[in-house]
Structure formats: structure tokens, C-alpha cells
Amino acid sequence: MSIAHPIDPEIRHHIEARLSAIGAKLNIRVLCACESVSRGWGFALLDSD
């Protein structure tokens, strides 16, 4: 059974590209990134944070 990812693939790609750019600029490797707001838990409304 496959579970759909809560983040739209286009948005996810944008986030991953930005994290890669930040990592390259700072010469670091981003090991983990998380969103700890309502969207991360699937409770987002149109006016959510």
C-alpha cells in the first residue's frame, strides 16, 4: 500500500533544491529538515501558518 506524500511534488522539489543551494553555499550537508506547523501534521487550512 502506497501512502501519498503530504507535500505536493513540485513544492517538495523546490524545497529540496533550496536546501541543496543552502548546503552548497555554506559548505554543509543538510541531514534533516522538517516543517513543524499545521501542514506538517496535515491539519492545514487555507489561512494556516
Q: Is 48 inside any structural domain? A: no
Q: Is 16 inside any structural domain? A: yes
pLDDT at position 14: 93
Q: Of 1-5, 21-25, 29-33, 43-47, where does the model show the most confidence? A: 21-25
pLDDT at position 5: 74
Q: Is 24 inside any structural domain? A: yes
Percent of the chain having pLDDT more than 90? Answer: 43
Q: Is 37 inside any structural domain? A: yes
Residue 35 domain boundaries: 9-41
pLDDT at position 22: 95
What SS3 string covers the chain?
Answer: CCCCCCCCHHHHHHHHHHHHHHHHHHCCCCCCCCCCCHHHHCCCCCCCC
Q: Is 2 inside any structural domain? A: no
Number of domains in the chain: 1
- What pTM, to 2 d.p., does this model score? 0.60
